[in-house]
Chains A and B, each alone.
Chain A
Amino acid sequence: MLGLPAQSKGKWGSPVTDQGIGARLLRKEDERYMRGRGQFVGDIRLAGMQEVAFVRSPLAHARIKGVRIPPAHRGRVFIAQDLTGVSAIRADTSLPGFKSSLQPVLAADKVRYVGELVALCIAPTRAEAEDVVGEIALDLDPLPVVADMLQARKPGAPMVHEHWGDNLYLTSAIDVDFEAVKAKAAVSVTKELRTSRQVMSPIEGRGVVAQWHSRLGQLIVHTSTQQPHIVRSGLAECLGLDEGQIRVVAPDVGGGFGYKGILLPEEIALAWATRKVGAPLRWIEDRRENLTANANCREHHYILSAYADAEGRLLALDCEATVDSGAYSAYPFSACLEAGQIASILPGVYDFPHYRCRAYSVATNKPPILPYRGVARTGVCFALEVTLDALARKLGSEPNHVRFKSLVRPEQMPFDNIAKRHFDSGDYPEALRRAIEAIGFAGVRERQRRGEPDGRRVGIGFAMYSEQAGHGTSVYAAWGIPFVPGHEAALARFTPDGGLELRIGAHSHGQGLETTLSQVAHSILGVPHERIRLVHGDTATTPYSTGTWGSRCMIMAGGAVAAACDELARRVLAIAAKLLQAKPEEVRLVAGEVVGPAGRIAVADVARTWYRRPQDLPGDVDPGGLEVTAGYKAKRDTGTFSYAAHAAVVAIDPETGELEIMDYVVVEDAGVLVNPMIADGQIIGGMAQGVGTALYEEMRFDAQGQPLAATLSDYLLPGPTEVPEVRIEHMETPSPYTRFGQKGLGEGGAIAPPAAITNAVNDALQGLGAELLVSPITPRRIVEAIARTRPPPQAPAAVESPPGPDGHGLPGA
């Protein structure tokens, strides 16, 4: 009996009628993760393996005049001139006007940011490799540094890539009848907003183990990546090898968030050097490398104007956005993924008639900016939603007044917005209404009127966004970056004993795909979960995929697994019909069994027959058997748009600037949820990162491009005590374009919190006349914003009881 009982009691206590799509199934992968039995790159030990440490540039901009290597270290230290046959990393886009940067694997003539790789050092242990690093002397000729993106845009600024003539990778622009708004608008606001540079902080950093396998003639690279097939393409391009000569394995990966989607120069350097020295090599990124040189993200600047009519309906946005893209265009997403998307995602969930946006992707002497969960949306949502609240305040209305007047309405769906984004489905006003209800808006306003006994100021804020996910060929062909996603492939096959094996080219590293794709297969074939295995993370054993990014896996890998299982089901039914002596149209798959008019047979028995007793098979059986590779594309590949309304209540201590998130509500719609519990987890995890963006995380650089945080005591991340218990409500409006109506939702939790929290802060401080327009909102920024609203300080007031000679007087004592 393969099928599950029709009704069983789930481990979480509620009755479960189905273990397929929609079930709150506990995650299969947690068995190893929660017991500490995962296997990460750092767990790999190979015979003869040596460790690598890198010499990194201490200067943000300099000419390399020489690298002095003590003779004793010859043969274990390599510099750019040693890397014969290795090409620089090239991540161009085909967007008109894009200027290409070549990112060297090891810097050759110039260094362009602090932490850029200059030399690779090999030793038996990491400590000894670091000893070698300490003995390498760099002869650098400093150049003027440009560390600020607004300075970098100015004429005469030092140039990161001299042959460009300026520091602009790309200028993106859109104008939809903008000038006409000026005659129509009753009110407008203009705000200058900024999001600080951040660092993606997966618990596991990057790590690489590279070895040359002489029998296979193959380079085997174990690397902590979310896109193994893309890493293989990138390695092949840079090393001049055939892709078949490279196998990339991504074992367990301890958090991706976008950082693990990047081809790193470290990966190429190790891949080259392992062949050179004839030993497996390992590099494990440490937290200092992660913070200061590698995982940078998020730095945006906006000058944003919003125009409305007298009723509060949004008429136009006018934006000048600048993104600090750093020194190089990172592979594969390019230097323009952030700024290049701003114009298209800034309109958010709103319908308005006039629009203008210019966005600059700017090169600076800082590490390349990389895509982080939410990508440009976190900054865009912050700029737009904070400005909309300011507009509402100027209109004298509650903040959500402008939102309700301007949201795309459900009857308009599907809706093509002013930037030609195609919203597939949803009810945006309903999400906002539910958030208002759930957070208890009226109660918070009443509480604000009463005031707090402890002197704190309470504020409430909202923010909305939509999240394009699973967008495919048509979108990325227009970008023209090194990969364009096409059909997603999955392999499904029965084992001879009736188990089901699924193989996908994407990677699961926290998304729970080992569970959710099992749910998809279970929904179609009825195989019990304990008999379903997901194989992923190895180019040698999985179909090609662009990998895990853009919240695409539930749509694309889910669709592909379903397509493969559909075909398997067709073949199983055909065999079973013969075995049951029934006509094909008379048999059905029910809970893991094929049921015919006069009998039934377990799917596992069909599998056993195919593999072990082929003599029992019908003569016209499909020779492909019970192994299927199927491809999938959504009916429309412009992506699904999940969306949410976030609501935050904060309390601020005006004396110390301390902030408490008192309540937080997310009303979210990602279409049909395959596993609502995992969806909750995605939202909570994203939310924690959103709180980091909103309140803690800031990677500062000085004017010389020196990073000012090198450890996690300087770069603050929120911990369990800083992340509020979030209350989540789901709406489930199906997408008309995907296999089950599902939408991608992996990033949304990280998009809206900075906007919602900032709006709550500005609501709290409204009575004081203070306003915060920068993330993170630190206690110092709050206190100083309040202080700026006060009249300039006068001479200190006379103290009634001056200090005594021993310096310990007390007034009024």
Chain B
Amino acid sequence: MKPVAFAYARPASVGEAAQMLAAEPGAKVLAGGQTLGPILNLRLAQPALLIDIARIPELAAVGEDADGATIGATVTHAAIEDGRVPDPTGGFLARVARGIAYRAVRTRGTIGGSLAHADPAADWLSCLSALGTQVYITGATGTRTLELDTFVRGTMETALAKDELLTAVRIPRFSPRARFGFHKICRKAGEFAEAIGVVAYDPESAIYRAVAGATNGRPLVLALRAGVAAKPFTVAEAEHMLQSMRYAGDAYERQLHAAALRRASELAFAP
């Protein structure tokens, strides 16, 4: 299992990278390479050109203000896990990061790569869908901003055009009273998720969302009605939520996703 021959480029800026993408239809972007590497080796991807963005300084930039934080696309899971970047959720991002695959993967894998790949089983996709995240995009002809919900179109499908790069994510700031729960069910430590449940609740900004992730498509996001009690869901409630999300899966998968949702709510609302 060795890749087909490809050309390799290391652009110095996002603009240059976007120009390269526009110029070479057979190009692929390489960030941490934690998915692209195996896919190349399996020859499932046979790009003519790999554009390595890992060393573009602006993509590694982070920043924060009163309303939230911006995290560059090539910030690694490990950097988030270690608290080396701003966390507008008061520690929830670090907790989620800690559960992504193995440390070796987290050391190289990037938040932008994870979102741009849009594997339904990815932790960030589900987690950030619950937080009202926006993604910043730069193309050969300009920039734009999309809600994460809009950005992800399906299994490994995004709104990125051929010449566009995801450059950063923007995560809103939550109040100190906010509660979060993330529960992942997988066959073994570090394995791809079979079901993910996420709950984000902030009484000060009236945010209350539940997400079912690792479904066979994009994360299913449910904005919970004002007045819904901030307490752990019952089994019936979790099953009902899945129904409301129009979740389609067999009996076992439904039971798993309901359990993930319920356990996320227990984590969020643990006394």
Contact = CB atoms under 8 A, between A and B. Distances in A.
B23 interface: no
Interface stretch (B71-79, B136-144, B184-192): B184-192
Contacts of B224: 808, 810
Given A696-B188, A711-B38, A810-B228, A655 B2 contact: no
Contacts of B38: 711
Contact of B255 (A125, A656, A718, A719): A656
A721 B225 contact: no
A288 B2 contact: no
Contacts of B234: 811-812
Nearest to B245: A807
A804 B227 CA distance: 13
Contacts of A787: 251-252
Nearest to B195: A656
B259 A656 contact: yes
Contacts of A803: 240, 243-244
A721 B228 contact: no
Contacts of B192: 713
Interface in A787-813: 787, 797, 799, 803-804, 806-813
Nearest to B1: A286
Contacts of B84: none
B3 to A, nearest CB: 6
B4 A127 contact: yes
A719 B241 CA distance: 34
A696 B222 contact: no
Contacts of B240: 799, 803, 809-811
B66 interface: no
B222 A711 contact: no
Contacts of A655: 255, 259
Interface residues on B, range: 35 or more
Contacts of B255: 655-656, 783
B1 A806 contact: no
B252 A810 contact: no
Interface in B1-36: 1-5
A809 B223 CA distance: 10
A722 B189 contact: yes
A132 to B, nearest CB: 12
A449 B231 CA distance: 31
B104 interface: no
Contacts of A126: 2
Nearest to B225: A808
Contacts of A658: 185
Contact of A810 (B187, B191, B225): B225
A708 interface: no
Nearest to A802: B240
A503 to B, nearest CB: 38
B188 A784 contact: no
B237 interface: yes
Contacts of B130: none
Tell me the dominant secondary structure on chain B's binding face: loop
A809 B239 CA distance: 12
Contact of B223 (A657, A780, A799, A808): A808
A696 B188 CA distance: 9
A788 to B, nearest CB: 11
B213 to A, nearest CB: 15
B244 A288 contact: no
A656 B185 contact: yes
B125 to A, nearest CB: 17
Interface in B231-254: 233-234, 236-237, 240-241, 243-246, 251-252
A287 to B, nearest CB: 7
A662 interface: no
B188 A127 contact: no
B79 to A, nearest CB: 24
Contact of A813 (B1, B229, B245, B246): B229
Contact of A779 (B1, B3, B187, B190): B187
B86 to A, nearest CB: 31
Interface string A682-698: 00000000000000100
Interface string B166-197: 00000000000000000001011111101000
Given A655-B259, A711-B38, A780-B252, A288 B1 contact: yes
B259 A810 contact: no
A637 to B, nearest CB: 42
Contacts of A721: 188-189
A776 to B, nearest CB: 10
Interface in A112-170: 125-127, 130-131, 134
A573 B239 CA distance: 83
A656 B238 CA distance: 14
A241 B54 CA distance: 55
A90 to B, nearest CB: 31
A304 B52 CA distance: 59
Nearest to A720: B189
Contacts of A287: 1
Nearest to A126: B2
B43 interface: yes
B226 to A, nearest CB: 10
A176 interface: no
A689 to B, nearest CB: 15
Contacts of A808: 222-225, 228, 241, 244
Interface string A195-221: 000000000000000000000000000
A716 B189 CA distance: 11
B42 interface: yes
B49 to A, nearest CB: 17
**Residue among B4, B38, B188 facing the most chain A CB atoms (10 A cut-off):** B188
Contacts of B42: 288, 710-711
A787 B237 CA distance: 20
A696 B187 CA distance: 8
Contacts of A696: 187-188
Contacts of B188: 696, 716, 718-719, 721-722
B256 interface: yes
A810 B43 contact: no
Nearest to A721: B189
B183 to A, nearest CB: 10
Residue with the greatest number of chain B CB neighbours at <10 A, chosen from A125, A718, A797, A808? A808
B168 to A, nearest CB: 29
Nearest to A286: B1
Interface in A635-660: 655-658
Nearest to B253: A780
Interface string A282-307: 00001110000000000000000000
B2 A813 contact: no
A702 B1 CA distance: 23
B2 A806 contact: no
Contacts of A710: 42
Contacts of B243: 803
Q: Which of A126, A131, A809 has the most CB of B within 10 A?
A: A809
Contacts of B244: 803, 807-809
B185 to A, nearest CB: 6
Contact of A127 (B5, B185, B228, B236): B5
B252 A812 contact: no
Given A656-B185, A656-B255, A696-B187, A804 B1 contact: no
Interface of B: 1-5, 38, 42-43, 185, 187-192, 194, 222-225, 227-229, 233-234, 236-237, 240-241, 243-246, 251-252, 255-256, 259
21 contacts: A125-B2, A130-B1, A131-B5, A288-B42, A655-B259, A657-B252, A710-B42, A713-B191, A713-B192, A719-B188, A719-B189, A778-B187, A779-B256, A784-B252, A787-B251, A797-B236, A799-B236, A807-B222, A808-B224, A809-B225, A809-B240
Given A713-B191, A808-B224, A813-B225, 18 more contacts: A127-B2, A127-B5, A130-B43, A656-B256, A656-B259, A657-B252, A711-B42, A716-B187, A722-B188, A722-B189, A787-B251, A807-B222, A808-B223, A809-B225, A809-B244, A810-B225, A810-B228, A813-B227
- Shortest 3 CB-CB contacts between residues of A and residues of B: A127-B2, A721-B189, A813-B228
